[in-house]
Amino acid sequence: MIIDRYNRVHDYLRISITERCNLRCFYCMPSEGIQLTPKPHLMSKDEILDIAKTMVGMGIKKIRLTGGEPLVHKEAHQIIEGLGKLPIELAITTNGIIVDKFIDTFKKSGLKSVNVSLDTLDRDKFQVITRRDYFNRVLSNIYKLVDEGFKVKVNVVLIRDTNDYELIDFLELTKNINIQVRFIEFMPFSGNKWDWSKGVSIKEILDTVNGSYGDKLVNRIEDKPHDTCKNYQIDGYQGTFAIISSITQPFCSSCNRIRLTADGKLRNCLFATDETDLLTAYRNGEDITKLVMENIQAKVAERGGWKNFEELAKPENHNKNRSMVLIGG
């Protein structure tokens, strides 16, 4: 088992399979773009599958594909099918633009859970946030995934004076459709011009929701073990909503996640800058299981080592971290 000094069992691996993306979300990708890693230094399809297989042998039970945009990888179909053969729960986080082309592959591979990122229900605002005009495609693909029977979660990064006024519109989406809308507190990464005054906290979100519906109609529902979110449902609505409070109420004590970047570096926390180069070791024929265990032993208790909210909230503390597009969320 991949177990750390705080007895946290890590059985959930998130693999970023590409650094490329067909959107340019301002909170994720710096406006000047990112320096892409040269292809020879990225994991190939076979390396992704082999490293994943080794880690499944160490106790990984769930794998989520992410990126960049995982579905723009030229061999995305083959990677999904390959991972589908492993004894794991397979999931994906995508911006949804071309997800309709993958429905058969998902079904064939046993992938049932799709998280789609959509931060606004307004086409013009979508262009402001993502610097591209794909709103209609993403929304219609969300409906298509629901119709096809997938478990769909919609990820919304709430940013003050950008999309915070759409909170209730997003909740109304859950009235007649069985999706989960997940509001994510805005997190700091290199190049995303973060400061917490732009973030919207779980407290503020709940105050707005309770203010609109009345707290008697806002039901707190059960969280699953290791959930990073707190789950809720508006009385009588088909879908649910959740809040991921990584900044104001982090969930580090139950963390079971470990991340592999597209260039084969293992990361034990979103906020930590230390990485372990698995890919080079793999290519040299070394035993990567030892490196995985060393990486997890170095994991700190909370917030990537930032002692408290004040430390975490200093924007200059995050300049050394990668941009989110290079980590994968």
Backbone angles phi, psi at 327, to 5 degrees: -105, -50
- Choose which of 97, 157, 173, 255 interacts with ligand SAM (CB under 6 A): 157
The residue within the footprint of ligand SF4, chosen from 18, 109, 115, 117 (CB under 6 A), is: 117
Contact residues for 204 (Cβ-Cβ < 8 A; gap 6+) = none
Binding-site partner at residue 29 among ligand SAM, ligand SF4, none, CB < 5 to 8 Å by type:
ligand SF4
How many angstroms separate the CA atoms of 103 and 107, rounded? 6
| Longest alpha-carbon distance in the chain | 60
Decide if residue 304 touches ligand SAM (CB under 6 A): no
Between 21 and 234, name the residue whose CB sits nearer to ligand SAM.
21
- How much helix, strand and coil, in percent to the nearest 5, is found in the chain? 40, 20, 45
Q: Which stretch binds ligand SF4 (CB under 6 A): 21-29, 168-176, 251-259, 275-283?
A: 21-29
> Which residues fall within 8 angstroms of residue 147, CB to CB, at 6 or more apart?
none
Q: What's the closest the beta carbon of residue 25 comes to ligand SAM, in angstroms? A: 6
Read off φ and ψ for residue 2, nearest 5 degrees. -90, 95
| Contact pattern for ligand SAM over residues 12 through 51, marking x by CB under 6 A | ---------x-----xx-----------------------
Stretch that binds ligand SAM, among 64-72, 97-105, 140-148, 212-220 (CB under 6 A): 64-72
Backbone angles phi, psi at 304, to 5 degrees: 60, 20
The residue within the footprint of ligand SAM, chosen from 18, 109, 117, 321 (CB under 6 A), is 117
First-to-final CA distance of the chain: 23
Under the phi-then-psi rule, with left for phi > 0, alpha for psi from -120 to 50, and beta for the rest, what region is 149? left
Residue whose CB is less far from ligand SF4, 21 or 313: 21
Give yes or no for residue 116 binding ligand SF4 (CB under 6 A).
Answer: no
> Taking CB under 6 A as the rule, does residue 142 contact ligand SAM?
no
The yes or no reply on residue 69 touching ligand SF4 (CB under 6 A) is yes
